Amino acid sequence: QVQLVQSGPEVKKPGASVKVSCKASGYTFSNYTIHWVRQAPGQRLEWMGWLNPGTGYGKLSQKFQGRLTLPRDTSASIAFMELSSLRSEDTAIYYCARVKLDYYYGLDVWGQGTTVTVSS
Amino acid sequence: DIVMTQSPLSLPVTPGEPASISCRSSQSLLYSNGYKYVDWYLQKPGQSPQLLIYLGSNRASGVPDRFSGSGSGTNFTLKISRVEPEDVGVYYCMQPLQTPFTFGPGTKVDLK
């Protein structure tokens, strides 16, 4: 079945980087963009950016410019979210979700979430 | 950035009764193609968000028909015709019209 499976929880120190993976299965990876959304404790959902896995093109929220990259491994159908210069405010659950390329049907499949804790 | 607001922020409901959540955007979400770029998501306790409604009024695959979405350029509504116990959770509206996509603060729905 269609699913996005994310990597496990991470604990990082301030200033470090984290790389979260999102493995797609059950559909053609290049036919959907991958979006990243995070949720800090008690906060609303926050959109971070998106990537077209087929072309490598994407767009990032200006809030994360310079700290966020969204690489991918098309041969393995995996998208990544890499966030650097971590601070305590980056403690959150990070989700990946897919959006169809040719027509907008919403963020219709989500990963299970990856908890990232930033603490000294 | 487009700011999304919701009301109420907390909504106690009685199973079998209707419920309604409002969402307002700081800019019109009506695009030139005639579609209203607002989605609704439900985050059940301990789970990832799940898509309920996209482009204002289209139910996602598998979503019961007791859920419906409507609205104009800046004011939108999610309605549940008869609340079921499994509908508890936090409901978010989101605008995908322009980046950064932005979410409302969420409406927590629980049983009375």
Q: Mind listing the pLDDT tens digit for each residue in B65-93?
A: 999 999 989 999 999 999 999 999 999 99
Picking from A47, A105, A111, the nearest residue to B101 by CB comes out as: A47
Mean pLDDT of chain A: 97
The distance of B109 to chain A (nearest Cα, Å) reads 15
Chain A stretch 71-110, residues whose beta carbon is closer than 8 A to a beta carbon of chain B: 95, 97, 99, 104-108, 110
Could you give the CA distance from residue B75 to residue B4 in angstroms, rounded to a whole number? Answer: 10
Please report where in the chains the tokens 């968000």 appear, as a residue: B49
CB contact under 8 A, B49 and A107: yes
Which residues of chain A fall below pLDDT 70?
none
Q: What is the pLDDT of residue A73?
A: 97
Could you give the CA distance from residue A21 to residue A94 in angstroms, rounded to a whole number? Answer: 10
Cα angle value A33/A36/A40 (rounded, 5°) = 165
